Structure 1
Amino acid sequence: MMKGSAMGWFTEGTEHEGYVVCVFADGLYGSGGRWMEIDVMTPDGRPVEHETDPDRRAWRSPSQVVGWRVACSCDPFREHVILDPFWIRVWDLADEDVAAGRIYAGPPASADAADISDREDLEPVFLDVWRRHVAPDLSLHTIGTLSRSLKELEAQLDDAVAAARRAGVSWDKIGRAFGISRQGAQKRWETVSAAVVGRTEDN
């Protein structure tokens, strides 16, 4: 299941969290921060320290943003992945073409570049990139969940067959209830049958 959070999107069971990062001209990235201040990070997700204040993270103005990418923090391996494509920032609304990778984020003095993921028309575009990234793990998570459910159901089915045999129900009736032949039922649950004390002979 995918859900939204204050930071971005996350999946239950697969430990991925995705969000949009700002791209700067020197190859560093940014996310979060305070008003008109974007916290700077390296491509592998490590925070960059402030040059003069070690207690603060380095930050840059939204005016320095040249584009955006989708990123994912992939636990439990603590891997930070920057995903393609790259959307370049354009400075004229008339030049915006999201499908072609061009996004307008307001004039340099605005904070819109830092909050580009808040645009309702852009979130589905960003989210689609992240969904394709997490799809393999989501499939594995689904397989694991269904496997556990199947094992529980099979155990309940074995118990029901054992109870039926104790009650004297024939393999023919058990097979018909399950949708298989008498021989198929007997072969499937022969170990269950062997464990049933006082079972009746087959009809």
Structure 2
Amino acid sequence: MTDTPPETRTTRSTPLSLSGFPDRLGRRQGTLTLVDYLTEGPEMTWDYDGHEGYAATIAAGDRKVRAHVTEGMELEDGTLVPDSDTVGWRTTCSCGWRAPLMFERVTDPSVSLAERQVFDTEGDGWPPREVEELCRTEWHEHIRPAENLAAVRQAAEDHRLSGERLDRAVAGARDGGASWTDIGRAAGVARQTAHERWKALSHNVDSS
């Protein structure tokens, strides 16, 4: 199951009826215009090879916020709740991974980020900058295996390309009259090893 990063909505100048949409307290209301229902922009996101990470806002009841709007926050089930329902932020990735613990929003200035508690009096639901940076660090740990495998793939490709360059260089040296002894010495291998590895590449049939 994949996780969807916070949604960005587009502002329109013409009203759009959203009959029956829940208001900020979860009650149903008659209509809502799209002009009244604007996002304030998604949280900072980080991309790597199909993974998109971000600090997801968490509302009371461990419910993930899907979008920030002028009326408050929209949850994944479409319910609108007030910004004051924010209880913290959790590192989240589009692949479905979520950090096991969230950064708890508190109003006590004596708390410590080391204990995953964040002093926040803004009450607007957006993660503080220091929380986003910590979430980014956690997300990097999550994608580290993917980064390591990508490094292996890149190294393997570099090895393949360098091998092709070496093959061409050896073929050119042999066609230019170099001996297998000289080629082996230049490549750092024994004469016999050089001959067995590259003999099929050379037009020079001389085995010396």
TM norm. shorter chain > 0.5: yes
Indicate yes or no: 2:174 matched with 1:174.
no
Cα distance change on mapping 1:141 and 1:36 into 2, 3 Å: farther
**Deviations along 1:68-114, whole A, 9 cap, x unmatched?**
1100002xxxxx222122222212222x211011111215xx31xx2
- Could you tell me how far 1:132 is from its partner in structure 2? 1.0
Identical-pair percentage:
28
Indicate yes or no: 2:136 matched with 1:127.
yes
Indicate yes or no: 2:87 matched with 1:66.
yes
Alignment counterpart, residue 23 of structure 1, candidates 55, 58, 62: 58
Equivalent residues in 2 for 1:103-142, closer than 5 Å:
103-106=118-121, 110-111=123-124, 114-117=125-128, 119=129, 121-142=130-151
**Deviations along 1:21-58, whole A, 9 cap, x unmatched?**
122222211143224622312xxxxxx23xxxxxxxx3
**Alignment length, in residue pairs?**
167
CA contact (8 A) 1:70 1:82 kept: yes
Alpha-carbon distance between aligned partners in 1 of 2:204 and 2:181, rounded to the nearest angstrom: 18
CA contact (8 A) 1:166 1:199 kept: no
CA RMSD of aligned residues (A): 2.1
- Could you tell me how far 1:195 is from its partner in structure 2? 4.1
Alignment counterpart, residue 102 of structure 2, candidates 86, 94, 111: 86
**Equivalent position of 1:196 in the other structure:** 202
Residue 72 of structure 1 aligns with an amino acid whose one-letter code is: C
**Equivalent position of 2:115 in the other structure:** 100
**Equivalent position of 1:158 in the other structure:** 167
**Deviations along 1:140-185, whole A, 9 cap, x unmatched?**
1121122122212211211111111111211111122122222332
- Could you tell me how far 1:127 is from its partner in structure 2? 1.3
SS of the aligned residue for 2:141 comes to helix
CA contact (8 A) 2:56 2:90 kept: yes
Alpha-carbon distance between aligned partners in 1 of 2:160 and 2:145, rounded to the nearest angstrom: 23
**Equivalent position of 2:47 in the other structure:** 10
CA contact (8 A) 2:183 2:191 kept: yes
SS of the aligned residue for 1:85 comes to coil
Residue 26 of structure 1 aligns with an amino acid whose one-letter code is: G
Alpha-carbon distance between aligned partners in 2 of 1:25 and 1:70, rounded to the nearest angstrom: 16
Alpha-carbon distance between aligned partners in 1 of 2:66 and 2:113, rounded to the nearest angstrom: 21
